[in-house]
């Protein structure tokens, strides 16, 4: 955060896959504590849930898995194991409010 002195982070957007074992409520709670006294203090954490998508070898389709209890293709019911997305835990974007700009307005 050093390159932007006086800048304040307004919002942090995360991409969290359904398989990332992250509970949004706990994440929000920890975020508030972890950011106290940092340039991130008071910023908003936005969590974008990423659904689990797998490649079905039987019908060659990329399918969204609705239930994490059974990894089966919703089209042909074959078991699927080729994970394409759903394990993400990454920052999608960070919105910064520059201190100078705020003062000018």
* Closer by beta carbon to Zn ion, 8 or else 72: 72
Tell me how far, at minimum, the Cβ of 20 lies from Zn ion, in Å: 24
Gyration radius from the chain CA atoms: 19
Output 18 or 80, the one with its CB closest to Zn ion: 80
Structure tokens, 98: 């520059």
Least distance (Å) from Zn ion to the CB of residue 58?
A: 4
For residues 75 and 65, give the distance between their C-alpha atoms in angstroms, rounded to a whole number: 11
Q: Provide, rounded to whole angstroms, the least separation between the CB of residue 74 and Zn ion.
A: 8
By three-state DSSP, how is residue 94 classified?
A: strand
Positions touching Zn ion (CB under 5 A) are 56, 58-59, 73, 75-76, 78
Per-residue H/E/C for 10-24: EEEEEEEECCCCCCH
Which CB, 59 or 94, lies closer to Zn ion?
Answer: 59
């Amino acid at each position: 955060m050093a390159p932007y002195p006086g800048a304040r982070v307004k919002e942090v957007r995360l991409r969290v896959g359904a398989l990332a074992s992250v509970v949004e409520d706990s994440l929000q709670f920890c975020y508030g504590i972890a950011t106290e006294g940092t340039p991130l203090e008071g910023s908003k954490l936005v969590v974008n849930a990423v659904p689990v998508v797998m490649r079905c070898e039987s019908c060659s389709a990329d399918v969204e898995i609705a239930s994490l209890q059974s990894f089966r293709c919703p089209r042909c019911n074959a078991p699927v194991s080729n994970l394409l997305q759903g394990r993400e835990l990454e920052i999608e974007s960070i919105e910064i409010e520059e201190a100078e700009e705020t003062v000018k307005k």
